Amino acid sequence: MRIKSGCTMSALVVGGVLAVGGAAPAWAAPTAATVTITGGGLSITVPPDAGNLGTHVNTVQSGTISGSLGQVQVEDARSAAAGSGWVVSVISTAFTPPSGPTIGAALVGYVAGPITKVGTATYTANDPPDLTGVTPAVTATGITGDNSATWNPTINVTVAGGKAAGVYTGTITHSVV
């Protein structure tokens, strides 16, 4: 090895290995950690206001007003056991004008339409023609794990001939169990 004058060498070669000052890294003992995921819930989301479902010109004969209620969605994050299910039920009040006879809930029908699904389940649209009492509208069976379903129901209101002109207002309520 040749060293020029005026140069210094700070590394020491020992047995072919270059040794540089410093220590090897120290490793701590591993630490165990956990996370917990709790079961979610079963929920339903419906439009707060469907607006005007349609218009019918008063005649001697009856007619039907049909309109979209808006998107209804059920989310089931309960991690339900295989084979579980849920039922969305619906009920309507009478459609009431500012004055005069109402259109009874027996004349209000519900058609779910196509159901978009996420997860494993069988979905059935029950399409009740009469919303006088709490009536199943959509049923999910054979659930495995989390799932959701979305649909945009059509509301059919049968209007008897000779009804008074005016805006009739009703309330449609959904529930899921």
Q: Is residue 137, in this structure, part of any structural domain at all?
A: yes
- Predicted pLDDT at 2: 45
Alpha-carbon distance 115 to 117, whole Å? 6
Alpha-carbon distance 64 to 160, whole Å? 9
Q: Is residue 33, in this structure, part of any structural domain at all?
A: no
Q: Is residue 71, in this structure, part of any structural domain at all?
A: yes
- Predicted pLDDT at 39: 74
- Phi first, then psi: give them for residue 172, nearest 5 degrees: -115, 125
Alpha-carbon distance 100 to 27, whole Å? 84
Closest by CA position to 69, among listed 86, 85, 90, 87: 90
- Predicted pLDDT at 114: 98
Q: Is residue 142, in this structure, part of any structural domain at all?
A: yes
Return the SS3 of 47. coil
Q: Is the pTM of this model over 0.75?
A: yes
Low-confidence ranges of the chain (pLDDT < 50): 1-15, 18
| Number of folded domains that form the chain | 1
Sign of CA dihedral 126, 127, 128, 134: positive
Closest by CA position to 155, among listed 68, 95, 74, 72: 68
- Predicted pLDDT at 8: 44
Q: Is residue 64, in this structure, part of any structural domain at all?
A: yes
Category of 50 on φ-ψ map: left (φ > 0), alpha (ψ -120 to 50) or beta? alpha
Read off the CATH number of the domain in which 121 is found.
Answer: 2.60.40
User: What would the pLDDT profile of 151-164 be if each residue is shown by its tens digit?
Assistant: 999 999 999 988 98
- Tell me the residue range of the domain where 100 lies: 42-51+59-176
